[in-house]
Structure 1
Amino acid sequence: MRAIFFDEDDARAVVDRLRADGFEAHVERERLAGEDDDEDHPWAVLSDAPAFMLEVLVDTHDGWLDEGDGAEPPREQGAPSPPLHLPTAPKRIKRPDLG
């Protein structure tokens, strides 16, 4: 689960609180599509904490919650992303009998 904040201090305060409560959490910079200025990118807090706990912290620190699809667990900062599962051939939509 991800919580988004525009202030780095708020993001770091949330991470400190979550870690103090025994959850895994880390901060990374969230790049928005079409945003060129690196100083305007928000901060994302990735954590395994329950949603209700993040909701309270987001309300307290003026952020928002991005629940996403929940398929990817939080990873350590700087760790590579897992490889994508890509198709090995084009998908045939109109003529599935051609092989």
Structure 2
Amino acid sequence: MRAIFFDEDDARAVVARLRADGFEARLERERLAGEDDDEDHPWAVLSDAPGFMLEVLVDTHEGWLDEEDARPDLGTEAAPVPPAPVDLPDAPRRLKRA
């Protein structure tokens, strides 16, 4: 999971807290598309900590949780069966007799 923070001090505090609790955590700079100024990029904390713990830390340090990485691997789940095709007419329906 990833937690995103705009303040470097908050991000470092979250990494320190997670490591103190025995979880792996690392800090990365998150590059936003179209953002040219390196100083405006947010900080991403990547961790194997449970989601509820990261939620509490995100609320405390005014960040947000990116749950995109928390999705299960789509290759391990059975693909849904597509519905059967609809039987469509070959020509338009005539309302008047010829």
TM > 0.5 fold call: yes
* Deviation of the 1:70 alpha carbon: 2.8
Post-superposition offset of 1:69: 3.7
Alpha-carbon distance in structure 2 between the residues aligned to 1:66 and 1:29: 14
CA RMSD in angstroms comes to 1.4
| Structure 2 match to 1:78 | none
C-alpha distance in 1, partners of 2:17/2:44? Answer: 15
Conservation of the 8 A alpha-carbon contact between 2:54 and 2:65: yes
Matched, 1:31 2:34: no
**Preserved CA contact (<8 Å) 2:2 2:69:** no
Counterpart in the other structure of 1:42: 42
For 2:61, give the aligned amino acid: H
Q: Structure 2: which 5+ residue stretches go unaligned?
A: 72-98
Q: Secondary structure at the match of 1:68?
A: helix
* TM-score, normalised with respect to structure 2: 0.71
Question: Where do 4+ consecutive residues of structure 1 move more than 3 Å?
Answer: none
Matches within 5 A, 1:9-88: 9-70=9-70
Higher helix share: 2
Aligned-partner SS, 1:34: coil
Deviations 1:65-84 (A, max 9, x none): 0011436xxxxxxxxxxxxx
Structure 1 portions without partners, runs of 5+: 72-99
Q: Identity over the aligned pairs, expressed in percent?
A: 89
Larger radius of gyration: 2
**Number of matched residues?**
72
Counterpart AA for 1:52: F
